[in-house]
Structure 1
Amino acid sequence: MHGFLRSLWDEPRPPGMRGPAWWDGVLVVVCASAALAEGALRPGLPWLFLTVAVVTGLAPALLWRRTHPLAVVAAVFGGAAALTLVTGGEAGEMYTTVYFLALPYALVRWGSGRQIVAGSAIVLLSSSVDLVLGAPEAADLVGGVAVLFATGALGAALRYRGRARAREIDRARLLEREHIARELHDTIAHHVSAMAIRAQAGQAVAQTRPEAAVEALEVIESEASRALGEMRTMVRALRRDGPAERAPSPHIGELEELACRSGPGPVVEVEIDGELDELAPAVTAALHRLARESVTNARRHARDVGLIRVRVDADDTSVRLRVGDDGAGGLLRPSAPPGYGLIGMAERAELLGGTCEAAPNPDGGWTVTAVLPRSGAPA
């Protein structure tokens, strides 16, 4: 119980509060007009002019029920208690005071924990004045308490729902950020890595083989153009002022573009076996990303690598990707944590219901193995 009270006391105000809007003005006009109309239609109401003036004058407080819920509750229920004290409990009850119920709701919906506690005490004290001077019947008392509790419970329910919705939005944003980070790593980082590798190779052979340096510059230009195009596609996808023009998804044929048998760097061999034409687009894109990331990692991190083999095998239910190299030792020391590339590869495979593992070979080199379902849906 103490923990609950402590958490209630420390509860902050929920986000998303807004100031008065045009419909709040309409609500005030409707409530004030209803109070004036009720006063005109009930001429026998005790303390008519004072009661109508108080109920009408408190209506504008509804404008600030969201931004200042405690102050509004104090003003309205304090005003109602003052009216009861001035009239000795003889003031008539107006039906228009039903708008008072919007204030306990607003207090629980938009107030902090301290404001809820303080506002509840104000409502309790105001009701106590009515009990002492007005002496209401038991049925009216029970009904009034039930209505107040119901309005507060409604505010609490919507408050909880708003908080749950905010958590869902935050989670969606986090997932989207992870997706963007993964796409940046798998696409832009790949091209940048390729440019860095070609630039290093070009510098190494610039003096002895100028034609190889020129070839490296051509590859760098091509990779830079592709990186720029993919970056522009991402920027358009993130903009909110119009529909994004997304680049077409990679296809299996693009895996063969990873093959490389000439120029600086290791030889890359690509073998594809099995029927791959009817794969789900998400699986095709994942295979392409995983293969390209694995080849890039081998080129960047493997020592003394001369050959990188990429093999794709497909059967009726799944597709298996294997990328291995003949480098001296693994990419990472056994005690080193995996990099973002390996984490992203495992996450991409897991989202499709598959697996992706990367480990050093017993005789040297590194092998990445991924198994994905053909449908692209978790089993």
Structure 2
Amino acid sequence: MDGEQGVRGGGPARWWRQGPSWWDRTGGERRGTRWPWPSTVLLTAFVLAGSRFAESEQVGERAPLDTFARVLLVTGSGLLLWRHRQPVLVVFGTAAAAMLYLGAGYPYGPVFLTVALACFTAIVAGHRKAAWTALGMLWVGHVLVAHWLYQWLPPSRDSAVPWGQEGVIAAWTVAIVAVSELARTRRDQWARERAERAQAARRRADEERLRIARELHDVLAHSISVINVQAGVGLALLDADPEQARTALTTIKAASKEALGEVRQVLDTLRTPGDAPRAPAPGLDRLPELVSQAAGAGLTVEVEGTAPPLPPGADLAAFRIVQEALTNVVRHSGSRHAHVRLAHDDGALRLRIDDDGPATGADAGGSGNGLAGMRERAAALGGTIEAGPRPDGGFRVLAVLPLKVKAKEDDR
């Protein structure tokens, strides 16, 4: 939600973090379908007025403006209409128009502004070499005109331009390139940040889907296993022992009711994200209830040891690990006896669930989603899961969950 609010929120902070939309690659494509008439018309008017003012300031030094000069100025500015569609063509076209303008001896003025804008657009669009080449050709052409070809070009009796002026022009060229490169770098940085935010949002969504899938699997697998066993007992004893069949049906009803409640809780968190759950998440304090449900499925469970106070995340993970391990015993083991041992030291909680075996199914080795879910729960807390056959023919699940998670939560 924070990320979403940050994207939707306005203000200068958002603009600086994300950048203006017209610098976005996709935004550039959308904008490229529109003609930038207003900015082009204003720039053309400014270039014509500025050149007229420059003519009045350079009387006798440069050739006066005529029709050809105004055509070159309008052509150079008009090309900027295509600057988002054809940036390479525009940057070379404006440079050529400026070169013809200067070669004809017309007054210095804002004619370079069109080249600067075209160069900026080309570099930001990614056409760096084209922009550099166009600027380099314009500067070389100016050097040739100002120091060699001026003898044969208007105005008459013109003299060579001081080399100091060439240094000023070169400095302006470097400044244009530097600003354009800075803008392009910043645009790419914004694009990377947007991609990283989108990837982080997708990762959070994937993690949430995986968490919900684990919860539903653990709840349904355990409850349906109990229901399946009790349904078999009820069918077998329906005629021979109706009272025992009634007990089995009562167990089925209780297990299904609990499963529906937990599934409803998970679905409620989907419908109202951010709201507090209506019921507390299960933890090891419900271990006796879990033992009772296992007994209803014909499994005797012995519990040894106690667990220390755990943070909600670790408590839920520990409960689900024990629940899934006992569910696997019911489904995949011929043993009707299981042993749960709880132990802890200063750094970790250790859960060990053993059964006497033997396995009754081909998938008793634990290659299904149950063991994968247990490993994911433990890994999310920085813990580990070891599961495999015992030398005596049974099966063992050993979980180690760090207790440092509690300290981190207390700090918050």
The two structures share one fold, judged by TM-score above 0.5: yes
Residue 43 of structure 1 is matched in structure 2 by 52
Inter-CA distance 216–299: structure 2 relative to 1 (3 Å threshold): same
Q: Which amino acid aligns with 1:72?
A: P
Inter-CA distance 143–184: structure 2 relative to 1 (3 Å threshold): same
The alignment status of 1:236 with 2:271, answered yes or no, reads yes
Match of 2:338 among 293, 297, 308: 308
Return the offset for 1:269: 3.7
> Is the 1:313–1:319 contact (alpha carbons within 8 Å) kept by the matching residues of 2?
yes
Return the offset for 1:304: 0.6
Instruction: Supply the distance in 2 between the matched residues of 1:214 and 1:33 (Cα, whole angstroms).
Output: 84
Inter-CA distance 150–299: structure 2 relative to 1 (3 Å threshold): farther
Residue 214 of structure 1 is matched in structure 2 by 249
Secondary structure, aligned partner of 2:246: helix
Name the count of aligned residue pairs: 339
Alignment of 1:92-111 (within 5 A): 92-94=108-110, 96-97=113-114, 98-108=116-126
Inter-CA distance 168–310: structure 2 relative to 1 (3 Å threshold): farther
Alignment of 1:111-150 (within 5 A): 116=127, 120-121=129-130, 124-125=133-134, 127-132=136-141, 135=144, 137-141=166-170, 143-145=172-174, 147-149=176-178
Instruction: Supply the distance in 2 between the matched residues of 1:196 and 1:106 (Cα, whole angstroms).
Output: 60
Instruction: Supply the distance in 1 between the matched residues of 2:119 and 2:308 (Cα, whole angstroms).
Output: 68
Match of 1:265 among 298, 304, 322: 298
Q: Which amino acid aligns with 1:265?
A: G
Return the offset for 1:144: 1.2
Instruction: Supply the distance in 1 between the matched residues of 2:181 and 2:305 (Cα, whole angstroms).
Output: 65
Residue 78 of structure 1 is matched in structure 2 by 93
The alignment status of 1:226 with 2:261, answered yes or no, reads yes
**Larger mean Cα displacement after TM superposition, 53-62 or 192-201:** 53-62
Return the offset for 1:83: 4.9
Match of 1:352 among 367, 371, 381: 381
> Is the 2:234–2:249 contact (alpha carbons within 8 Å) kept by the matching residues of 1?
no
Alignment of 1:149-164 (within 5 A): 149=178, 151-152=180-181, 154-156=183-185, 158-159=187-188, 162-163=191-192
Instruction: Supply the distance in 2 between the matched residues of 1:378 and 1:55 (Cα, whole angstroms).
Output: 68
Return the offset for 1:254: 2.4
The alignment status of 1:283 with 2:314, answered yes or no, reads yes
Alignment of 1:316-335 (within 5 A): 316-329=346-359
The alignment status of 1:342 with 2:371, answered yes or no, reads yes
Return the offset for 1:218: 0.5
TM-score by length of 1: 0.72
Return the offset for 1:376: 1.0
Return the offset for 1:78: 1.9
Return the offset for 1:188: 0.8
> Is the 1:89–1:133 contact (alpha carbons within 8 Å) kept by the matching residues of 2?
no
Instruction: Supply the distance in 2 between the matched residues of 1:43 and 1:164 (Cα, whole angstroms).
Output: 46
Return the offset for 1:321: 1.7
Which deviations, in whole Å up to 9, do the C-alpha atoms of 1:219-278 show, x marking residues without a partner?
Answer: 45314413531441353267xxxx4554643333223321126433322344452532xx
Which deviations, in whole Å up to 9, do the C-alpha atoms of 1:111-151 show, x marking residues without a partner?
Answer: xxxxx4xx623651464155225647245235414532552
> Is the 1:233–1:245 contact (alpha carbons within 8 Å) kept by the matching residues of 2?
no
The alignment status of 1:373 with 2:382, answered yes or no, reads no
Inter-CA distance 352–263: structure 2 relative to 1 (3 Å threshold): closer
Secondary structure, aligned partner of 2:296: coil
Gaps of 5+ in 1: 1-13, 109-115
Instruction: Supply the distance in 2 between the matched residues of 1:282 and 1:217 (Cα, whole angstroms).
Output: 29
> Is the 1:311–1:323 contact (alpha carbons within 8 Å) kept by the matching residues of 2?
yes
Instruction: Supply the distance in 1 between the matched residues of 2:220 and 2:338 (Cα, whole angstroms).
Output: 19
Residue 192 of structure 1 is matched in structure 2 by 220
Q: Which amino acid aligns with 2:217?
A: A
Instruction: Supply the distance in 2 between the matched residues of 1:84 and 1:258 (Cα, whole angstroms).
Output: 87
Instruction: Supply the distance in 1 between the matched residues of 2:252 and 2:183 (Cα, whole angstroms).
Output: 67
Which deviations, in whole Å up to 9, do the C-alpha atoms of 1:49-73 show, x marking residues without a partner?
Answer: 33553454344446xx3xx4xx133
Return the offset for 1:367: 1.7
> Is the 1:237–1:246 contact (alpha carbons within 8 Å) kept by the matching residues of 2?
no
Secondary structure, aligned partner of 1:357: strand
Instruction: Supply the distance in 2 between the matched residues of 1:41 and 1:78 (Cα, whole angstroms).
Output: 20
Inter-CA distance 56–85: structure 2 relative to 1 (3 Å threshold): closer
Inter-CA distance 330–200: structure 2 relative to 1 (3 Å threshold): closer
| Identical residues among aligned pairs (%) | 24
Residue 254 of structure 1 is matched in structure 2 by 286
Inter-CA distance 193–20: structure 2 relative to 1 (3 Å threshold): closer
Residue 53 of structure 1 is matched in structure 2 by 74
Which deviations, in whole Å up to 9, do the C-alpha atoms of 1:290-339 show, x marking residues without a partner?
Answer: 222222222222x21212233323344332222222221598879x7844
TM-score by length of 2: 0.67
Inter-CA distance 229–168: structure 2 relative to 1 (3 Å threshold): same
**Larger mean Cα displacement after TM superposition, 93-102 or 365-374:** 93-102
Gaps of 5+ in 2: 1-23, 56-64, 147-165, 239-244
